[in-house]
Structure 1
Amino acid sequence: MPRRASGPRLYLDKKRRQWAIRDGANFIRTGCPEAKLEWAEKLLAKYIAAKYSPPKSASPPIADILLFYLKDRVPMMKSRSAKYNVANLEKFWGDKLLSDVTPANCRAYARTRSQSAARADLEKLQSAINHWHSERATLPAIPKVWKPPRNEPRDRWLTVSEAARLVKASKRAEHLKRFVLLGLYTGSRAGVLRTLEWSWIDLEAGTMRRRAPGASEVANKRTPPIRLPRKLKHFLRRWKVADGGQCKYVVHYNGQPILRDPWRSWKEACKAAGLVGVHPHVLRHTRATWMVQRGVPPWQAAGYLGMTVRVLEATYGHHSPDWQAEAADI
């Protein structure tokens, strides 16, 4: 009778004096010396977790639901926030069952996070449960995850004088200056500004793509091509000459791409400009507000910003000079 496999375990290679992982016929080196057993144990735990496949069940533990979602759905998402949401959820829900997904427990979880962060996490919990039901095992009943209400949309935008001060202060850092000017003139999201490539810009035609040709886009974060403002084309021509064809990205730091929002230089520029509590997303809010204030037709403004007319009117409609004019003058 064949011996039953004993599963993954640590094995000390006496010749190399290093720990390895034995898993049946597989032999995986950890690179950990004999004296670093705790390092090898952590690697073994990660190996076992990565190999584990949640069994199909109509009453699964939340840990299995989150793990299946993390392995089966999250890799197909462009946003990196889903991993962060799942990690947050595991700390509270990891030892709970599907039957524990009640409004009381959801409210208890919400008290451990800010309102917006708790809502984002709990939305992912609902998505993970729905994904298990549709792709792993049919649930007899899908619990409805209670979520705190959405925060009111931010109404902070820059006046023309504030924007001018920010542009002046950002000149100390070339990458930030480009980031700020592109944001004010195009209203693009920060992620678009950081990944914008010169090959996406046609200065002769006066157009700019917000993503690579053929690349897919997220449904709620549309990135349509736009017509370049005249003043921005002037800046772009100067920057292109300065880069000399040596840089792939329009916004870069010494030729290297900007992987995250430029928080350090942003805060320094805001301080110099006398702006307090301003997030980089204010550049997009500012462009949207200025267009509405100047009476740009909603369908044009929405198309330029990559949002629906409904969202534009709900978020920025009160900035229109004609907002409720007839209703107020009766």
Structure 2
Amino acid sequence: MARTKLQTPNFTLSKRADGYYVIRYTDPATGKTRDKATGTKDAKEAEEERARFAADYRKPKLAKNPTVAELCDAYLEYRKPQVKSAASLEHSYSPIKRHIGALYAQSITQTTITDYIKKRSGDVSGGASGRLRIKPVSEATINKELRQLRAALNWAGSEDKIDRVPTFRIELSAGEARDRWITKEEANRLMETSSPHIALFLLIALSTAKRREAILTLTWGNVALHPAGHETIDFGDDVGNKRRGKTPIAGNVRLIEALKAAKGVAKTPYVIEFRGKQVADVKTALRASCRRAGVEEITSHVLKHSAITWMVQAGIPYEQIGKFTNTSKDIIEKVYGHHSPAFVAEAVGALAF
């Protein structure tokens, strides 16, 4: 039977018959046990050497002066276990590697970045799901790519893989602030024109203000529909800086009944399923629902934005909204505060003359 490959080398100290210590570890690539001499019989010195060797072993294997492409690949390997969508992260680095990947990381200058912006501005992006929707690459997209490049460079500097971390300005807009939200009347029209699994997705999103990924990965084991009056949905652990947490739904009769009905016919562990399979994305289906309902096209993020906007418009305190949605009070006030009835009344009152 083949030996199971370990995820970490699992460094330990072992004393040889001659009294010298060796560092014993399992090569994660081969599963074989290897020894590294410490050159000492002193237990304390051997432990210090073990700690140094383990730290160096885990460092990224990169040339001292790596190219941008090599650095990006190494950073991707480092980040993949920490992010929800590794494919999305790889997608951000693809144009970086294509346009400036052959350059040495430390040779990046402001001119390099300016040239990159010009090249990317001339690129076009396509549509999804086989539907061709060619359009120029937006400034917000280029901004995101360059921020990812900066993150990779900073990481390389912290790992001592480059002597100097290049600094540069990103002279682009991060995109217009998103203030798109739908009314409750539009929400009901969307529900009526959507297939059952999309209607349930909409209902959960608008009732909990949770993100698309949290809803699509939600399983029935994390939905508590009993006892009555204590119903909750546990969206699991936070992913990166994306907060999830547990959301109470007691009293939301429409959502509770919809969940009970869906659970009764479920064929998979996932709450959002279609034809006996987990749903990977709702972008295309949501676009079709908008078209049928006569609602301006929205993304799933607009649903979260709408839910919080409704609560602010209803005069719910920012702190209470923050606790319910696992969003900081400061963000609620900064992004959604202008929807508050109190804010509007005070602003209008101040301008009266």
Q: In which range does the TM-score fall when normalised by the shorter chain? A: 0.7 to 0.9
Partner residue in 2 for 1:153: 177
Question: Could you list the per-position Cα deviations for residues 292-323 of structure 1 after superposition, in whole angstroms to 9, with x for gaps in the alignment?
Answer: 00011111212222221111111111110011
Gapped runs of 5+ residues in structure 2?
1-29, 31-59, 121-136
- Post-superposition shift, 1:276? 2.2
Contact kept, 8 Å, 1:62 with 1:97, in 2: the verdict is yes
- Residues 264 and 149 from structure 1, CA distance in 2 versus in 1: closer, same or farther, beyond 3 angstroms? closer
Contact kept, 8 Å, 1:106 with 1:145, in 2: the verdict is yes
CA distance in 2, matches of 1:190, 1:73: 21
- Post-superposition shift, 1:153? 2.1
- Post-superposition shift, 1:70? 2.3
- Post-superposition shift, 1:324? 5.3
CA distance in 2, matches of 1:157, 1:55: 46
Partner residue in 2 for 1:104: 111
- Post-superposition shift, 1:225? 0.5
Partner residue in 2 for 1:70: 76
User: Secondary structure in 2 aligned to 1:78?
Assistant: coil
User: Secondary structure in 1 aligned to 2:309?
Assistant: helix
- Letter of the 2:66 counterpart: P
- Post-superposition shift, 1:63? 2.1
Partner residue in 2 for 1:195: 217
Query: 1:165 is matched with which residue: 166, 184, 189?
Result: 189
CA distance in 2, matches of 1:55, 1:267: 44
User: What is the correspondence of 1:228-247 to structure 2 with a 5 Å cutoff?
Assistant: 228=249, 229-243=252-266, 246-247=267-268
User: Secondary structure in 1 aligned to 2:300?
Assistant: coil
Query: Does residue 229 of structure 2 align to residue 210 of structure 1?
Result: no
CA distance in 1, matches of 2:337, 2:244: 21
Gapped runs of 5+ residues in structure 1?
1-25, 27-52
User: What is the correspondence of 1:102-141 to structure 2 with a 5 Å cutoff?
Assistant: 102-111=109-118, 112=120, 113-139=137-163, 141=164
Partner residue in 2 for 1:14: none
Query: Does residue 116 of structure 2 align to residue 82 of structure 1?
Result: no
CA distance in 1, matches of 2:315, 2:101: 51
Contact kept, 8 Å, 2:272 with 2:279, in 1: the verdict is yes
CA distance in 2, matches of 1:249, 1:218: 18
- Post-superposition shift, 1:99? 4.1
Does 1 or 2 have the higher relative contact order (CA < 8 Å, sep 6+)? Answer: 1
Question: Could you list the per-position Cα deviations for residues 242-294 of structure 1 after superposition, in whole angstroms to 9, with x for gaps in the alignment?
Answer: 33xx42111101221011x2233222211111112311221111101100000
User: Secondary structure in 1 aligned to 2:191?
Assistant: helix
Contact kept, 8 Å, 2:223 with 2:232, in 1: the verdict is yes
CA distance in 2, matches of 1:126, 1:263: 30
CA distance in 1, matches of 2:95, 2:196: 36
CA distance in 2, matches of 1:110, 1:266: 32
**TM-score, reference length from structure 2:** 0.71
Contact kept, 8 Å, 2:287 with 2:297, in 1: the verdict is no
User: Secondary structure in 2 aligned to 1:281?
Assistant: helix
Partner residue in 2 for 1:288: 308
CA distance in 2, matches of 1:195, 1:123: 28
User: Secondary structure in 1 aligned to 2:193?
Assistant: helix
CA distance in 2, matches of 1:100, 1:117: 23
- Letter of the 2:110 counterpart: P
Query: 1:175 is matched with which residue: 192, 197, 200?
Result: 197
User: Secondary structure in 1 aligned to 2:235?
Assistant: coil
- Residues 180 and 85 from structure 1, CA distance in 2 versus in 1: closer, same or farther, beyond 3 angstroms? same
**TM-score, reference length from structure 1:** 0.75
CA distance in 2, matches of 1:231, 1:126: 46
Number of aligned residue pairs: give it. Answer: 268
**Identity rate, percent:** 29
Partner residue in 2 for 1:321: 341
Question: Could you list the per-position Cα deviations for residues 2-34 of structure 1 after superposition, in whole angstroms to 9, with x for gaps in the alignment?
Answer: xxxxxxxxxxxxxxxxxxxxxxxx9xxxxxxxx
- Residues 103 and 164 from structure 1, CA distance in 2 versus in 1: closer, same or farther, beyond 3 angstroms? same
- Post-superposition shift, 1:202? 0.8
Question: Could you list the per-position Cα deviations for residues 95-117 of structure 1 after superposition, in whole angstroms to 9, with x for gaps in the alignment?
Answer: 21234422232233234142111
